[in-house]
Amino acid sequence: MKKIDLDTPALMLDIDQFNRNLEVMRDRAARAGKKLRPHAKTHKCPEIAWRQIAAGNCAGICAAKVSEATGLADAGIADILITSPVTTPEKIGRLMKLHAGLPGLMQVVDNCDNASALSAAALQTGTPLPVLVDLDPEMGRTGIRFADAPEFGRHIAELPGLKLMGIQCYCGHLQHIADFQERKSRSQSYMNAAARIVREFRAAGLNCEIFTGTGTGTSDADLAVPELTDIQVGSYCMMDAEYAAVTGPDGRPLDCLYPPALTMLASVVSANHNGYVTLDAGTKALYLTPAAPPRVIRDGKVLPGWTYDWFGDEHGRLSFPGGEKLRPGSKLELVVSHCDPTVNLFDEIFILRNGEVIDVWKIALRGCCR
């Protein structure tokens, strides 16, 4: 089947570009002496996680939620880090159920009461839970202040149900800074501060074999930090318009290094106006970042002057320069705004090679937000 014959809206992944992106990130990390710990929150797809592992140089896979980790474990993946705190009795119960059969499971923690609750629960399973101290790089989302880390680390190390493994520092707020040099300088400043915590932990006799962090946007900057052990990159395997709008280490758009492998096919449902048509992909199919709207591509090239706007939950508005005739039923290919929440709207992704559909992968963790 050709991609143009897919029912729309449809998510498509070019397998050759996907494989090249896996190889480029793997090789860049390996040259710096770092491992990958790819984040499954991006793709929600165990098949992709397995291919990331098979590409080599992986320390494990990251999950954002217990439900994501459960889905990865169900697919046979052994080494999983949950990158956000797990705090309610219900979630701690589910985490412990997973922990009991999965020695390679790790959990971040950023609060003493939560650490005590995890310790008490893990003691009942008979095996300490491996944990990382989550550091807050002044993003304020999760994590503890750098200044509080040494004391918190000592506290964790003393809890009988936990096994301190190291630290996590993820600068989510820096990933999309447009200029690479500014992104690099800001990220390295936080990651070097986190590296000092690693050295303090080690000097205090605390186990700190893991220092994990970074994303696709800051990966090149952070690979220069000696203490960093592995990188939690996500978007590099699929890519999107948000990352195409920032520069990479060579000053060119970051999607020159990691070209988009993920695209969406959409159709024209109405064409009664000049200069624009209505597409069948709206809020329920395509997460829109207004600052980095989807890009319309043809034969892999961005069509200049073509723009996608929000047109409701079911529809998008596609404007284009004169000269083109788009009829109802015409199909278009888009690079999506932001891959993670868009992928989360679909149950499957069509795998393409040279424009032919060669496989369908299940987005098995779709909807795993718990």
Decide: 125 and 96 in contact? Cβ < 8 Å. yes
Region near a second copy per CB under 8 A, out of 71-79, 142-150, 216-224, 225-233: 142-150
Q: Is 144 one of the binding residues for a second copy (CB under 8 A)?
A: yes
Q: Is 120 one of the binding residues for a second copy (CB under 8 A)?
A: no
Alpha-carbon gap, residue 316 to 334, rounded angstroms: 11
DSSP assignment string, 112-142: HHHHHHHHHHHHHHTSPEEEEEEE--S--SS
CB of 56 to a second copy, least distance (A): 27
Interface with a second copy: number of residues (CB under 8 A): 68
Q: Is 228 one of the binding residues for a second copy (CB under 8 A)?
A: no
Q: Is 5 one of the binding residues for a second copy (CB under 8 A)?
A: yes
Region near a second copy per CB under 8 A, out of 188-196, 249-257, 280-288, 294-302: 280-288
Q: Which position among 33, 104, 160, 172 is part of the footprint of a second copy (CB under 8 A)?
A: 172
Site string for a second copy, 239-278 (x = CB under 8 A): ----------------------------xxxxxxx--x-x
Site string for a second copy, 50-79 (x = CB under 8 A): --------------xx--------------
Q: What is the CA radius of gyration of the chain?
A: 22
Specify the residue, 8 or 17, whose C-beta has the smaller distance to a second copy: 8
Q: Which position among 317, 326, 351, 362 is part of the footprint of a second copy (CB under 8 A)?
A: 317
Decide: 137 and 169 in contact? Cβ < 8 Å. yes
DSSP assignment string, 136-176: --S--SSSB-GGGHHHHHHHHHH-TTEEEEEEEE--GGGTT
Decide: 178 and 247 in contact? Cβ < 8 Å. yes
Alpha-carbon gap, residue 82 to 64, rounded angstroms: 5
Q: Which position among 13, 285, 292, 318 is part of the footprint of a second copy (CB under 8 A)?
A: 285
Could you tell me which residues come within 8 angstroms of residue 113 by beta carbon, excluding any fewer than 6 positions away?
none
Q: Is 133 one of the binding residues for a second copy (CB under 8 A)?
A: no
Decide: 62 and 355 in contact? Cβ < 8 Å. no
Tokens of 162: 């936990």
Site string for a second copy, 20-49 (x = CB under 8 A): ---------------------x--------
Q: Say how many CA atoms lie within 13 Å of 61 toward its Cβ.
A: 30
> Could you tell me what percentage of the chain is helix, strand and coil, using 3-state DSSP and rounding each to the nearest 5?
35, 25, 40
Q: Is 94 one of the binding residues for a second copy (CB under 8 A)?
A: yes
Residues that bind a second copy (CB under 8 A): 5-10, 41, 64-65, 84-91, 94, 110-111, 113-114, 117, 136, 140-145, 172, 267-273, 276, 278, 280-285, 287, 311-315, 317, 327-329, 331, 338, 340-341, 344-347, 366-367, 369-370
